[in-house]
Amino acid sequence: MQKADYIALLIFAVCWFGYEPLLRTIGTHAGLIAKHISVLRQQWMRNFITREVKLFDSNLLGHSVNSASFFASANLILIAAIAGAIFEGQVPKSIVNSLGIEASSRIVLDIKFAIILLCLARGFFNFTWAIRQMNYCAAAMGAVPHDLTREEAEETSLALAQIVEPAMSHFSQGVRGYYFSIAAAMWLYGPWFFILGTMGAVGLLLWRQSASSSAGGLKSLRIILEKYQSRKNDEQG
């Protein structure tokens, strides 16, 4: 491995492990999807508490579980394929050369595959943990009584939001793992492609969080819901 490879790997590690803390930090000061969607989930739990027929809520949660299960299964297949290439050495050198993959030795090639494997494995654990937390959500939502007082309803909705929020957050982290696994795959073609892929993945993620049309729509809806909740609190207070 050359010096450029170590630099590229360091940049990737900083971006990979630092993206989530960065998102939480700037999310408190800027309008990001992660912040908007958190407010929407809190409002969802408030509406769930007061809704007489809760079939709509169970369908939403079931859709999330199915989505997380699909991605977890896809991750497992990719992990098996990459692990096979590493541990069984099934990638002939002629194929490596024909694809333009840059590898000075078998060990270097295995290291590059291992980084991709780590990204996929982390995403797999995020998806499986999200599924478990969604099951906790299902149990918690099913345990909510129908005759709560206004104070009890508010406290219960906040408690439910504390369960739903990390579940959906881990699902998002799992999806984000695909971006970084693609960036890691760029290392196969050299360190500069690796750096470009890493910075491109982070830039795309941040743009979608802050400047996409979805971010704008969620921000508008968040403002509407916050005004609505403030009016309801004034009326009830």
Domain containing residue 122: 3-23+32-236
Residue 105: its pLDDT value, please?
A: 66
Residue 168: its pLDDT value, please?
A: 92
Question: Could you report the average pLDDT of every consecutive run of 10 residues in the chain (237 residues)?
Answer: 86 92 77 86 89 83 92 91 73 54 69 90 94 93 86 90 92 93 90 92 91 89 87 75
Residue 9: its pLDDT value, please?
A: 92
Q: What is the mean pLDDT of the chain?
A: 86
Total domains in the fold of the chain: 1
Tens of pLDDT, residues 163-187 = 999 999 999 999 999 999 999 989 8
Query: In the 3-class helix/strand/coil scheme, how is the chain assigned residue by residue?
Result: CCHHHHHHHHHHHHHHHHHHHHHHHHHCCCCCHHHHHHHHHHHHHHHHHHCCCCHHHHHHHHHHHHHHHHHHHHHHHHHHHHHHHHHCCCCCHHHHHHCCCCCCCHHHHHHHHHHHHHHHHHHHHHHHHHHHHHHHHHHHHHCCCCCCCHHHHHHHHHHHHHHHHHHHHHHHHHHHHHHHHHHHHHHHHCHHHHHHHHHHHHHHHHHHHHCCHHHHHHHHHHHHHHHHHHHHHHHHC
Residue 231: its pLDDT value, please?
A: 84
Residue 95: its pLDDT value, please?
A: 53
